[in-house]
Structure 1
Amino acid sequence: MEIRRAATVAELLAAGHLYDDPPREDWAARFLAAPGHLMLIAYAEDGFPAGFVSGIEMLHPDKGAEMCLYELSVDEGHRRRGTGRALTEALLAAARERGCRGAWVGVDTDNDPALATYRAAGSVDEGVFAMLGWPLDDVETEAPDGVSG
């Protein structure tokens, strides 16, 4: 298995089977262009994208830089082989290289595979929290360069 940083839209689209929804070329391009956004893809020996982890470097005046592990996904046929842990550790290494002071992930408390993966990679439990959201589906998605999404 080889883990590489995704640098092209083609790489992001080729990993589409790992995402929750089909990827869009314009969103993939916007992701790559956004400062602080990072996606690492694990490739099997045959070049198949077996998993990915995405992270977003976040900045704050009193916290400095922190890495948010945004999403981790491993192809069904490649699970339980250490791919998720390797991807998590690779993201943590990238966070250190970027000077991040910490890293964090939000995970459902009943997602035992994810919890086991993150714990195996050295995470510590910082307590239970509630995640609240605001669906903005009624807002037109527009990229900064004026490309509608």
Structure 2
Amino acid sequence: MDANSAPNITIRRLTRGDAYRLTAASGLFDGPITEAGARDFLAKPGHHLLLAEGPDGRAVGFVSGVEMTHPDKGTEMFLYELAVAEDWRRRGVASHLVGALAEIAREGGCYGMWTGTEHDNEAALAAYRSTGGRLEPGTTIVVYDLA
């Protein structure tokens, strides 16, 4: 999908051959992206990464998602991570990225999409609410460090 979906940005759905685009966008991630890591992620079935690119082709945001299937529930999309470059925030980039991932989920037959964030991350909560997301009352995220 290389369609203009918001003024001045293009949403690009990365494929196996786009590892170089992902490594070039490392500044948007928590840590550097290696070529091997990019290839591994992009090669896995059910793993999705969308880049928002500005008019100059520079990555200004991304969303990643992973399809998860359970035998008694079907398949759902886990919105793994969402980020937008500071100078591109509050322009609808995050909303367009989330919407594009939701469309991939619908096309793939997912019955729902979910994510987690900190309770005080107002920017993320606003983006999720603006795209139709709702907070699930009483939920808590539990994390295991397996390293």
Q: What are the Cα deviations for residues 107-126 of structure 1, in whole angstroms up to 9, with x where unaligned? A: 11100000000000011221
For residue 132 of structure 2, give the secondary structure of its aligned residue in structure 1: coil
Amino acid at match of 2:85: D
- Match for residue 125 of structure 2? 115
**Percent identity between the aligned chains?**
48
Question: Normalising by the residue count of structure 2, what TM-score does the alignment of the two structures yield?
Answer: 0.90
Deviation (angstroms), 1:25: 1.7
What aligned pairs does 1:22-61 form with structure 2 within 5 A after superposition? 22-61=32-71
Question: Normalising by the residue count of structure 1, what TM-score does the alignment of the two structures yield?
Answer: 0.88
Structure 1 runs not aligned, ≥5 long: 138-149
In 2, Cα distance between equivalents of 1:102 and 1:15? 28
Q: What are the Cα deviations for residues 75-110 of structure 1, in whole angstroms up to 9, with x where unaligned? A: 011001000000000000110011100000111110
**Larger of the two Rg values belongs to structure:** 1
How many residues are paired up?
Answer: 137
In 2, Cα distance between equivalents of 1:39 and 1:127? 28
Deviation (angstroms), 1:134: 2.2
In 2, Cα distance between equivalents of 1:100 and 1:36? 11
For residue 40 of structure 1, give the secondary structure of its aligned residue in structure 2: strand
Q: Give RMSD over aligned pairs.
A: 1.0
- Match for residue 13 of structure 1? 23
In 1, Cα distance between equivalents of 2:145 and 2:117? 19
Structure 2 runs not aligned, ≥5 long: 1-8
